[in-house]
Amino acid sequence: MTRPDVLVAAPLPPVTMAALDDAFVVHRLWEGVADDVLSRVRGMAASTLAGPVRDDLFARLPALEVIANFGVGYDNIDMVAAVARGLVVTNTAGVLDEEVADLTIGLLLATLRRIPAAERFLRDGLWRDGNFPLSPSLRGRRVGIIGLGGIGKAIARRLDGFAVDIAYHGRTRQGDVGYPWYPSVEALAGACDVLIAIVPGGASTRHLVDARVLAALGPQGVLINVSRGTVVDEAALIAALQAGTILASGLDVFEREHDVPEALLALDNVVLLPHIGSASAITRQAMGRLMVDNLVAWFETGRPLTPVPETRIMPSS
């Protein structure tokens, strides 16, 4: 069988690029690809890291059948256009849940116990002159998870071990989940003093955490965002942090990556990370493997392993 032509949107880990090169005739978009070559492309490896995949690109790819995304979130892909063109889209659901959940707990504790500030204090030689100020605590807190999906549940499993109360919000109450459900983010915020956002990005979750939610969270409230920057109204968050109407925030994602507002950088009640939720070597390797396997499964069997719900393709069993 001739190897299908696959377009790669942006550089991926070397082991993933090697696997793509083994299975397909690979074209690297960032190196420039002629239109007659693009017209042969049947598959695409996309990634959140590569920026948006829009209809103007699809228009140059008339033979495109499948987009395999490197990442579980696929808000980088114009799904309306993809569905209209009958494209199959896959993500890397499942293989990064535990890694992102680990990072979330690390960010939560770093924010509450002020771990980065404490380390700076020691490195700056200030310990000789006195002890680091007492920090807030996770003890006695109630944690609200916005989006109790694969990653949200992995976070909840960890939090069970920390002896804190847990509640959640999603569009629907989950029958098999014992944690209390709240029908709105604002109601959840009113009942909790930690909020963790782990929903998909895109239009339906844009500014789900806004000024009203932050006001409901209250002056002892802590917001952790490990989902997408668009989920939080960043201007409202900055205002709340500056005014002290919430206590602190830990952010792994931002509205405009990689452009973090100066106003956030100037605050000392935030912990800011450069979108590293899934960014360990082993997990990025697993994501790359699943992305390649999805392309291979599509071309060999017409049944990808982890299609996203919008494409209505049954996964292979």
* CB-nearer residue toward ligand A2R: 50 or 72: 72
Known catalytic residue at 275: yes
Long-range contacts of 294-301 (CB under 8 A, 24+ apart): 294/66, 294/68, 294/90, 295/4, 295/6, 295/20, 295/23, 295/24, 295/43, 295/45, 295/66, 295/68, 295/90, 296/23, 298/43, 298/65, 298/66, 298/68, 298/88, 298/90, 299/4, 299/42, 299/43, 299/66
CB of 248 within 8 A of CB of 269? yes
Nearest residue (CB) to ligand A2R, 100 versus 246 = 100
> Within 271-290, which residues bind ligand A2R (CB under 6 A)?
277
Least distance CB 4 / ligand A2R (angstroms)? 27
289/124 Cα distance (integer angstroms): 43
In the complex, least distance from residue 150 CB atom to ligand A2R, rounded to whole angstroms: 4
Among 106, 116, 149, 229, binds ligand A2R (CB under 6 A): 149
Q: How far apart are CA 244 and CA 205, in angstroms?
A: 25
User: CB 309 → ligand A2R: shortest distance, Å?
Assistant: 8
Q: State yes or no: residue 73 binds ligand A2R (CB under 6 A).
A: yes
Binding to ligand A2R (CB under 6 A) within 189-228 occurs at 198-201, 204-205, 227-228
Instruction: Check binding of 171 to ligand A2R (CB under 6 A).
Output: yes
Catalytic residue list contains 257: yes
Q: Smallest distance, Å, CB 312 to ligand A2R?
A: 16
210 Rama sector, left if φ>0, alpha if ψ -120 to 50, beta otherwise: beta
Our CB check for ligand A2R shows the closer of 205 and 283 to be 205
Of residues 98 and 165, the one with the C-beta less far from ligand A2R? 98
Q: Does 144 bind ligand A2R (CB under 6 A)?
A: no
Question: Is residue 106 a contact point for ligand A2R (CB under 6 A)?
Answer: no
Residues in contact with ligand A2R, counted by CB under 6 A, come to a total of 22
Distances (CA, A) of 176 to 122, 155, 180, 184: 46, 17, 11, 19
Site string for ligand A2R, 223-242 (x = CB under 6 A): ----xx--------------
Per the DSSP assignment, residues forming a β-bridge with 181 are 168
Q: How far is the CB of 146 from ligand A2R (least distance, A)?
A: 6
262 is a catalytic site residue:
no
Asked if 82 touches ligand A2R (CB under 6 A), the answer is no
72 binds ligand A2R (CB under 6 A): yes
Which residue lies nearest ligand A2R, judged by its C-beta? 149
Would you please indicate which residues are annotated as catalytic (active-site) residues?
228, 257, 275
- Contacts with ligand A2R by CB under 6 A lie at 72-73, 93, 100, 147-152, 170-172, 198-201, 204-205, 227-228, 277
